Structure 1
Amino acid sequence: MADNLTHFDEQGRARMVDVSAKSDTERRAVARGRVVFSKESFDKVRAGVKKGDVASIAELAGVMGAKQTSSLIPLCHPLPITGLSVRVEPDEKKFAFVVTAEVKTTGKTGVEMEALTAVMTACLTVYDMAKAVDKSMTIEGVELVEKSGGKSGDFNRGK
C-alpha cells in the first residue's frame, strides 16, 4: 500500500499524477456493485417496467459512464479504453441486480476508476428506471474486484 496520497504535492495541493516516466503496459480492472429491492419490487422490475428493458439500458449507460470518467473525476487521466463490458444480471436470492464492469487499456495508468464509474452509472440507471416502483431500493457493495498491470501489481479481492 502506498505511504502517500499521490494526488497531492509536498505542500498538500491537489495535482494530477505525472505518469510520463511510466511504461505503457496492459491494464485491466473489474468492479462490481448491486441495486437491492424489496421482493415485490424486484419481481416487477425483473418482469419489465414501462420504460423498457432495464438491464440492457443500464449496461449501455455503464459503457457511456466509463467513457466519461476523466470528465467526472477531476484528477483522473483520460485513457484510451481498448475493451469494455458491462453486465447487469438479476440475483433472485438477494432481490438485486448485480452490475459487473471490466475495462481494459494499454497505457501508463490503470482503469480502476473507469470500471467503478461504469458500475455506478449502471446502478444509477437501474435506480432511475425503477424509482417509480421502489424508492427504498439501495445501491451497495460497489467495489474494485480485481486489477492487473502496472507498477503496483495485481489485486484480487477474492470471493
Structure 2
Amino acid sequence: MKKKKKNMTFNSKEFDVAISNEGIRIFEIVLAFFVILFIVFAIMYIFKIGRVTKGNLYVFAVLSGIVLLFILQFKTWKLSVKENKVSVNGIYRRKVTFTFEQIDKIVVGKKNELKVYVSGKKITTIDWLCVHYDEFIEIAKYYKCNIIGSVE
C-alpha cells in the first residue's frame, strides 16, 4: 500500500520537528536501570554485602547523570517552523531564528540526517527519526533550498 502525499499549504504551515517520544523513552528506561542499580549497590554498600565500593556508586551516579543530560537535551531540542521562519531551541545553545531563504544548504548524511547550514555555519542536525522530518524536507523543497544528497 502506497502512502498518499498530503497536499500542503505552505503559506500557513506551522509544525515542530522534535525527537519522537519512543526515542526518549529508550533513554528513560536506561536511566531507570542505572538508578535501580545505584540503589541496589547503595544498599549493598551500606549493609556491607559483597565487595561493593564507593567506586561502584560513583560509576552509576555518573552514568545516571549523563543519561539524564541526554534526556533533557532530547526533550528541550525543537525546531519550529512558522510559515517561512525556522527557530531552533536547545538546552546548550540560545534560540536561533532564520528563514528558509537564509539557508545556504541542507546536507543529507549517510543515515539520512539533515545538516542545516545558514551563513556557512552548521545550525542543527535533524535525525530522520524526528517527528515531522518529511514535512521539513517538503517545505525546504518548496522554498527551493539547496539540498545536497538524496533523501530515501
Give the alignment's TM-score, normalised by structure 1.
Answer: 0.25
- If you compute each CA radius of gyration, which structure gives the higher value, 1 or 2? 2
Instruction: Name the one with the larger strand percent.
Output: 1
